[in-house]
Amino acid sequence: MHTELSTLCSVWLQSLRQIVSIFLASAFSLPLMADPSQPNVLLILSDDHSVPHISCYEDVNTTKFHITPNLQKFAEQGMRFDRAYTTAPQCAPSRISIFACRSPVGLGVTRFAQPAREDVPFFTDVLRAGGYWVGLDGRHHHLDGRIREAEHIDTALRHAGMQNLEKRFDHLVRSAGTKGSGLDQVSKRIEAALDTVPNNKPFFLYFGFNQPHRKFSATFDGIDPAKLELPPDWPDLPEVRIDYARYLASVRELDQGFGQIMQLLVERGIEDNTLVLFMGDNGEALLRGKGTLYDRGTHVPLLIRWPGHVAPHSESSALVCGTDLGPMILEACGMKPAGGMTGKSFVGELTGKKQI
């Protein structure tokens, strides 16, 4: 009797193991579904773009010549930050600071040609470890010191651990921005990136516009230099007015490209679950702008839309800077910053639950 019972138990346990094995195999073969509470994230940076050059900031010139209708509409759908500042008035320090969530001085990155070290964590590393697909497209070569047409420099940087983006992103399109206006390529590039996102993953995608960086490729049709209002500290010269008109025309191109991206989100049916951030990397490349600590060198636009979380037509006077974007994105996605990140999340400010 004891032998029969032992045999029966052995058979039962073996059957149970088979059932459990089949269950586990089935479970792990099924695709993991993305957590619906985790938003997709789209971060868009303009290049050399100060606060005065978007109509939603009550700028006279962009309003008068109807230069930024898409950004105006976007601002009305979310929150406009009136006191957003870059951590540096130059491209490389500012962009690396955004991704590393630390000050340029703390990173040792204070000039154009100083890329991020491999041992410096990005907030996108945290997102990726947490299950996000992460992609990078557009103007981003500042992040790892990519030197075009200088292979020996690239090789040296790679050996020093300063060209490491391939290890950090699921999708990486190396580009210094868009050629010419490049408007015909913007939506195609975003669409190509989104096509590679697995169905079971939320995504983070960064896109960097070249506009309105010099050299201004745009003509300034429809913008009359003689009717522009110049800052009081600028010399009122024909050359200055024409240069300013070209800059504003480049801002107009940026707005058109931005509108394409927003339309693509609608067409794909993902706009309601996508947190979209638009920010300038640093100030305008005009008088007393980029490369200086004047307001036009560091005061940048920051617009954020997050349907269901951020009330439309919102405005904030909270003081925020580039280092704060990563911690805010991580909190919105249910994650915490990596050690050493000094930026502060402002999700509470966005949602109205806590003022900063």
**Domains (ranges, CATH) in the chain?**
37-351 (3.40.720.10)
pLDDT tens readout for residues 4-40: 545 444 444 444 443 333 232 233 323 334 566 799 9
Among all chains, which residue has been given the structure tokens 């805010």? 328
pLDDT at 155: 56
Q: Which of 88-92, 174-178, 341-345 has the highest mean pLDDT?
A: 341-345
Alpha helices in the chain (DSSP H): 2-29, 60-64, 69-76, 91-100, 104-107, 123-129, 151-159, 165-168, 183-194, 238-267, 295-298, 325-332, 347-351
pLDDT at 235: 96
Q: How far is CA 138 from CA 6, 103, 159, 213, 248, in A?
A: 68, 23, 24, 13, 21
Question: Is the distance from CB of 330 to CB of 105 less than 8 angstroms?
Answer: no
Summarize the confidence of residues 190-194 as an average pLDDT: 93
pLDDT at 144: 61
Question: Lowest-pLDDT range, 113-122, 266-275, 332-341?
Answer: 113-122
More confident: 272 or 158: 272
Here the tokens at position 185 are 């390529």
pLDDT at 7: 47
> Among residues 17, 43, 260, which one has the least CA distance to residue 143?
43
> What residues contact 156, with CB distance under 8 A and at least 6 apart?
none
Mean pLDDT over the full length of the chain: 84
Question: Is the distance from CB of 220 to CB of 34 less than 8 angstroms?
Answer: no
Question: Lowest-pLDDT range, 9-23, 84-98, 252-266?
Answer: 9-23
Dist. CA 20–CA 3, nearest whole Å: 26
> What residues contact 194, with CB distance under 8 A and at least 6 apart?
203, 205, 264, 268
pLDDT at 177: 47
Question: Is the distance from CB of 340 to CB of 114 less than 8 angstroms?
Answer: no
pLDDT at 163: 62
Give the neighbor-by-neighbor strand order of the sheet with 171-172.
Answer: 171-172, 133-138, 203-208, 40-46, 274-280, 302-305, 79-85, 314-321
pLDDT at 56: 95
Dist. CA 242–CA 21, nearest whole Å: 73
Dist. CA 146–CA 106, nearest whole Å: 22
pLDDT tens readout for residues 108-148: 887 766 777 788 899 999 999 999 999 998 876 566 655 45
| C-alpha R_g of the chain | 24
Question: Model's pTM, two decimal places?
Answer: 0.84
